[in-house]
Amino acid sequence: MGMQSQDIIRRSATNGLTPLPQARSHEQEVAKLIDVSLCTGCKGCQVACSEWNDLRDEVGHNVGVYDNPADLTPETWTVIRFDEREDEAGKLEWLLRKEGCMHCAEPGCLKACPSPGAILQFANGIVDFQSEQCIGCGYCVAGCPFDIPRISKKDNRAYKCTLCADRVAVGQEPACVKTCPTGAISFGSKAEMKDLAATRVEELKGRGHNGAGLYDPAGVGGTHVMYVLTHADQPSLYHRLPDDPHISPVVRGWKEWLKPVGALGFIATLAGAFAHYMGVGANTTDETPPAEPEKELEDAGQGPNDNGRDA
């Protein structure tokens, strides 16, 4: 967002030699805390998200579960996931989770993106797609450990939750937070949200949820959307929320290892060719009229010769 253009800490496809505008880098990190134990699955957050961001997704079909739409789309940036589970005692549990971008401190999408400035990370922790710079290659889809970005068929650009960067920039909380009727979603500084989470986790443990805990995965440097989970020891129960998310080693190999190796390959190849030419000289052909065949051996043995016919 233009309003936050002075506090960018990471910019896609931009190397570290050119520092980004950071005049306001004293800014506090923000976080959204989603307490799954308080969620009733009303989908008010989905509606608020669509309303604030002016998204009009197609009305879908019931696919046999409550998830609706059935998945994130370019025009649905958050979806409540409904997972049924029987615990060891045979007791049914309904696990709800509001899915959307986690706003990682080390964003895989941003690492993968080849288009300068198409993905920005702001000092407050928000990771935002700049749609007009997006080229629609889909690398962010491969880079994301949470399978969040979606590419629109309408305009071939990637979309996901912005954490309402436009609202946050003017001191408002994200639309989903504002709307949530049960108080399951909170927003504030990351430190405040961690404190709040700690309190909630204590309460949940006191009520017998021994596995309760905060989901702020260290593998991606922590996230700016965090969960309080009743089963924090098994995050994957909540619709395949990764137990230990991190940027894939394949993506790291591609972006961190192959790039310098490739650059060295170019330098070595070009320098080698140039050095060879300087050392050996052009490989020319003696075009003096063909003598008797017996002379061929010697002709071929002659070194560089400027009589040669040029290419």
User: Measured in whole angstroms, how far is the alpha carbon of residue 215 from the centre of its chain?
Assistant: 18
Residue 94 engages another protein in binding (rule: CB under 8 A)? no
Residue 275 engages another protein in binding (rule: CB under 8 A)? no
User: Measured in whole angstroms, how far is the alpha carbon of residue 244 from the centre of its chain?
Assistant: 15
Member of 52, 77, 129, 139 binding another protein (CB under 8 A): 139
Residue the block writes with tokens 């065949």: 293
Member of 1, 6, 9, 14 binding another protein (CB under 8 A): 14
Which residue, 33, 76, 70, is CA-closest to 51? Answer: 76
Interface with another protein by CB under 8 A: which range of 63-71, 94-102, 180-188, 262-270? 262-270
Member of 22, 28, 40, 156 binding another protein (CB under 8 A): 156
Distance, CA of 12 to CA of 119 (rounded, Å):
5
Distance, CA of 9 to CA of 121 (rounded, Å):
6
Distance, CA of 83 to CA of 65 (rounded, Å):
9
Using the CB atoms, write b or e for 160-169: b if 16+ within 10 Å: bbbbbbbbbb
Interface with another protein by CB under 8 A: which range of 8-16, 92-100, 173-181, 197-205? 8-16
User: Measured in whole angstroms, how far is the alpha carbon of residue 213 from the centre of its chain?
Assistant: 24
Nearest distance from C-beta of residue 282 to another protein, angstroms: 5
Nearest distance from C-beta of residue 255 to another protein, angstroms: 9
Contact set for another protein, span 212-251 (CB under 8 A): 248, 250-251
Member of 5, 115, 130, 172 binding another protein (CB under 8 A): 115
Residue 296 engages another protein in binding (rule: CB under 8 A)? yes
Cα angle 290, 293, 295 (rounded to 5 degrees) comes to 80
Residue 151 engages another protein in binding (rule: CB under 8 A)? yes
Q: By C-beta, is 68 or 115 nearer to another protein?
A: 115
Give me the amino acid identity at 260. Answer: P
**307 close to 289: Cβ distance less than 8 angstroms:** no
Residue 69 engages another protein in binding (rule: CB under 8 A)? no
**Residues near another protein, by CB under 8 A:** 12-15, 114-116, 133, 135-139, 141-142, 144, 147, 151, 156, 248, 250-251, 253-254, 258-259, 262-263, 265-266, 269-270, 273, 276-277, 280-287, 290, 296-301, 303-304, 308-311
